[in-house]
Amino acid sequence: MGKRIIIREEQLRSLVGHIRESNDHTAMVKNIQDDLEKNYAPEVITQRQGGEYFETPSFRIKADGSMTTGVNLLRYLSMKYGDLVGDDFIKQVIRDWADESIDDGYLSKNVSMS
């Protein structure tokens, strides 16, 4: 038999707010993640500058096979989702998606949507 707890109305509103925010947060992460998976593939490009080689993270556009930078991808996603979430949130989704560390809509680092 389960236990009963009694909470005040104020506590109930707070809990409901947290649950709704959590659902909105994970839904937005999954939405952006699906968009990234359908249209992009993360890659690392090795470039020579001077006498040294540097690895640069990039993204292959699946539609035409061309490459884009993380900055350009962030700009595009900011235009698409910018009214709903902030740039820091989008950056973290891109990082976690490229590292394959998104776990069922949860990011590796807690970032606010605004």
Whether pLDDT at 21 is above 70: no
Tell me, yes or no, whether 104 lies in a domain. Answer: no
Domain range enclosing 39 = 10-99
Tell me, yes or no, whether 109 lies in a domain. Answer: no
**Of 7, 18, 44, 10, nearest in space to 110 by CA:** 18
pLDDT digits (tens, 9 = 90+) for 36-73: 999 999 998 888 888 899 888 899 999 999 999 999 99
The 40-49 sheet, strands edge to edge: 40-49, 52-61, 67-69
Q: How many domains does the chain have?
A: 1
Extract the tokens encoding 44.
């690392």
Q: Give pTM, 2 decimals.
A: 0.76
Report which residue type is found at 32: I
Tell me, yes or no, whether 60 lies in a domain. Answer: yes
Tell me, yes or no, whether 28 lies in a domain. Answer: yes
Tell me, yes or no, whether 49 lies in a domain. Answer: yes
Percentage of the residues of the chain whose pLDDT score is greater than 70? 95
